[in-house]
Amino acid sequence: MADPVSQASSRWRDLDKLLLRPGNLVGPNFDPGTELRDDLQEYAKVLVVGAGGLGCELLKDLALMGFRNLEVIDMDRIEVSNLNRQFLFRLQDVGKPKAEVAAHRVMERVSGVDIVPHFCRIQDKDLEFYNKFNIIALGLDSIEARSYINDVACSFLEYDAEDNPCEETIKPMVDGGTEGFKGHARVIMPGVTPCFECTIWLFPPQVKFPLCTLAETPRTAAHCIEYAHLIKWDEVHGGKPFDADDPEHMQWVYSEAVKRAELFGIPGVTYSLTQGVVKNIIPAIASTNAIISAACALETLKIATSCSKTLSNYLSYNGLEGLHTKVTEFVRDKDCPVCGPGVLLELDTTTTLQKFIELLEEYPKLHMSKASVTYRGENLYMQAPPVLEEMTRSNLTVPLFDLMGKIPKGIVHISGTATKNDKKTSCTRKLRVLFKVIDGDTDMDTATGS
C-alpha cells in the first residue's frame, strides 16, 4: 500500500502530463504549470445535463479527471431497466431521483469532488443558474432538451458592433449522443462553431412506414406492429387516443400485431419489439456510452485548460460493424436564429408593434411580410392560428418598447415569409433591437438606421 502522501502526488500523474508541459498541440493561451491544475480544481464549474447512461459516465469521468465543482440536473427517477448500463445505480435505488443518487455515489468514490444534484426539469432553472457554469456538458437523449439548453447557452452570447462574438459571453457546450452502437461527441462554442440549431438537419425525421405498406403488403414484424398501432387501433377504438405508457394499450397492440403476423406468415413479433417500435426505442449500449462520454469529458478538459485544441467540431463513432470514427468540421449558419448575430434594428421608443411589423417588409436585410413576433418565448403578435391572432391583436397598437419591458436593447424573433431573389420562403430571424430615446419628433427613416 502506498502512503497517503505518495498517493496524493500520484493521483494526478496522468493529468499532470497534459497540464504541466508545453507542447505543439496545445490550445491558444495555454499556460502550463501546477497552478493550472489548481485552478481547474478550484474554479472550473461544469454542469452535467442528464444523469442517465451518458450522464453517469460523464460525472464519473469528470470527477476522476480533477474537476471538483460539478452539478447535475435530471428530472427522472431510477427504473429497474436502467440498471444494466447506468452503473451508478443499484437495485435499492429504484424509485429515487437519478441526479441525487448519481451525485452521491460519485462523491462516495472520488475524494474531494463536490457534486450538487438538481432533481427537476431543465426548464425549471432560470438563466442565472445556467450562467454560473464555465462549461455545460450534455448527456441527453432528446432533441427537444438539447434545443432548449442550446437556446439557453446561446442567449448569453453577445456580439460587438462588427458582428464579432464577444469572447467573455461565449458559453461552451459539449454534447454527446448515442443510439445503439453509434454515437457522436461535439463541441459547441456559440458564435464560433455551429450551434445545435445550425445543424438541426443532422437529426433526420423519424423513419415512418408508408401506410399502404402497412395496410397491404407487410414484410417485417415492425410493419405488423405499426399496422396494429397506427391503423387497427383507430378502427377499433374510434378516436380514443393510444397511450404508449398504458400497459393494456401496449398489450392490445401486441396481440393484434401477432394476429397480423400470423396471417402473413411473418416471424419475430414480440412484446418488447412492440414496445421498441411503438415508442421508437433504440437499445442503449453501455460501451457506446462509455466511449462517447470519454470523448466529451476530454473535450471539457481541453476547453477548461487549453491543454489541447478542441475537437473541430463533430466526432462521429460507429461500432456497428468493426469500428469507424471520423471528425467533421461543420460550418455555422450565419443567419441562425439562435446563435447568429441577428439583424440590428434601431427603433425609437414610440414605435408600435404594428409599425414594427410593417418596417420588416421594407427592411433591406429582411423583406419579411406577415411576421409573427416573439420576445423571450412570449408571443407578442401571431399571424396564425386565428385564436392566437385574436389573443395578441391588442398588442399591435402598443409600442414595442413597452412590450419588451422598457429595456434599452433586446432580442426578438420574427417568423414570416421572406422574399429573396423573387422566391418566397418561410423563415425565422433574430433581431437585435436597440431603442433610441429621443425627445420630440423623430423621423422614422433615421430611427430605423436606413
Query: Applying CB under 5 A, which residues contact Zn ion?
Result: 195, 197-198, 336, 338-339
**How far is Cα of residue 410 from the mean position of the Cα atoms in its chain?**
23
Strands (E), 166-322: 173-179, 182-188, 314-318
b/e map of 84-119 (b: 16 or more CB within 10 Å)?
ebbbbbeeebeeebbbbbbbebbbeebeebebebbb
Instruction: Provide the grid cell at 153.
Output: 447557452
How far apart are CB 85 and Zn ion at their closest, in Å? 32
* 339 a catalytic residue: no
Could you tell me where the DSSP H helices lie in 265-378?
Answer: 271-278, 286-305, 353-362
- As measured in angstroms, the least distance from the Cβ of 154 to Zn ion is 7
Pairing of strands 69-73, 45-49: parallel
* Non-local CB neighbours of 197 within 8 Å, separated by 6+ positions: 147, 150, 151, 154, 333, 336, 337, 338, 339
Q: Which cell goes with 87?
A: 452503473
Which residue's entry shows cell 412590450? 403
Rank residues 221 and 311 by Cβ distance to Zn ion and give the closer one.
311
Alpha carbons 188 and 174: distance in angstroms, whole number: 6
Locate 332 and state its grid cell.
455555422
- For residues 86 and 155, which CB has a smaller minimum distance to Zn ion in the complex? 155
Least distance CB 340 / Zn ion (angstroms): 6
Q: Which residue is nearest to Zn ion (CB)?
A: 336
CB of 203 to Zn ion, least distance (A): 14
CA 330 to chain centre: 17
Closest to Zn ion by CB, 15 vs 174, is 174
Q: How far is the CB of 195 from Zn ion (least distance, A)?
A: 3
* 177/342 with CB nearer Zn ion: 342
Residue 26 or 153: the one with the smaller Cβ distance to Zn ion is 153
User: Of residues 212, 307, 336, 427, which has the active-site annotation?
Assistant: 212
Q: Which residues are catalytic?
A: 212
